[in-house]
Amino acid sequence: MRSPYLHMKTLLILTAFATVLVNCRTSTTGLGEFAISLPSARIEAREIPTHREMQTGTKVVVLGTGTPIPDAHRAGPSIAVIHKGNSYLFDAGAFDAGAGAARQATIARYLYDIPSLYPSQICCVFLSHLHSDHTLDLSELAHTLWWRRRNPLLVWGPLGISRISSAITDMIAIDADFRINGLQPVANSDGFKIQDTTIEPGIILHRDDLQIEAFLANHGDISPAYSFKIVTDDISIVISGDTAFSDLIAEKSKGVDLLFHEVISRSGLERNSPAFQRYHNSVHTTSDELARLANVARPEKLILYHGLFYGTKEATVLDEIKELYDGEVILASDLDVFTGK
């Protein structure tokens, strides 16, 4: 179900942080209509998940719902699946106001009391493809408080991920040299070194009753690009990444609890030049095509993210889908939370 937090933000703010007693300040997060109180410069270095975390059901936090187009209200695409005290991030988009998945994860950590979303506690990132709007915050995730990391960040991505992780590691090497060879305590001298794995279709991770499968998306000439299916003991999820219509995604999504899918408004697309219409039709899924896919898959919830609207009202894309599909459709906002049935 969708978290009731999203309909009770003001009440949440008044209650969730009323007991934060030390080293706190009130700050505006830039999330629009509300502000939250966040601990000021708190360092967290838990070694293992707590008993409470291990007993909590799987949550999905939408860290960012945006696109390459600058948007003051939407961070770049990133979805966190939290399961048994670990946070698994799918894509690492940047935030056009200055920070991205790392900042959003920090906010969500305190907003929803999820310790594993503290940036230096995040274990794993899965990149659907290597476009900039899906990768720009990878360094922030890997290197925020890296000297407190007991284990380096694990990153899975398509062919080319090793070049990116090596470049990011090289970029931080001077900082690492200062800290490792200076007076500062360092938990793990290899903590800044991203450990990358090149994705091949199939099961890419299986741990703690969680299974992650990567399968090919249809992102035009951007290849390979991947979608992901995540199955735990209490939820099933498909995350499309960027893709044009795909029969394989429809098949993999049949009956899942949550289908997170990118979308482009059909009426918005028609406002573009013929060249851009050809491009977008080859790499993204229009609202009418997504309705066709959803009618095959019939997920419990179809959740829209990475929405391209091109001058139309955002609600228009919902109307376009609902004209052709009678299931539940949600246009996600940043920091929305979802759970299983």
Domain 4-39+55-338 class?
Answer: alpha beta
> Rounded distance, CA 259 to CA 330, Å?
10
**Residue 114: HSE in the Cβ half-sphere, 13 Å Cα cutoff:** 30
Are 201 and 215 in contact by the 8 Å Cβ rule? The answer is yes
The Cα-based distances of 85 to 47, 53, 54, 136, 156 in angstroms read 11, 5, 6, 25, 20
In this model, does residue 28 exceed pLDDT 50? no
Segments making up each domain of the chain, as ranges: 4-39+55-338
- Say yes or no to pLDDT of 4 above 70: no
Pairing of strands 329-331, 24-27: unpaired
Residue 39 has pLDDT above 80, yes or no: no
User: Measured at the alpha carbon of residue 107, what is the angle toward residues 171 and 44, in degrees to the nearest 5?
Assistant: 70
Q: What percent of the chain has pLDDT over 70?
A: 86
**Is residue 93 within 8 Å of residue 26, measured between CB atoms?**
no
Which pLDDT tens digit goes with each residue over 47-81?
788 889 988 999 999 999 988 888 888 998 999 99
Averaged pLDDT for residues 163-187: 96
Paired tokens of 27: 């700050």
Lowest-confidence region among 17-26, 199-208, 229-238, 276-285: 17-26
Average of per-residue pLDDT across 177-199: 96
User: Does the pTM exceed 0.85?
Assistant: yes
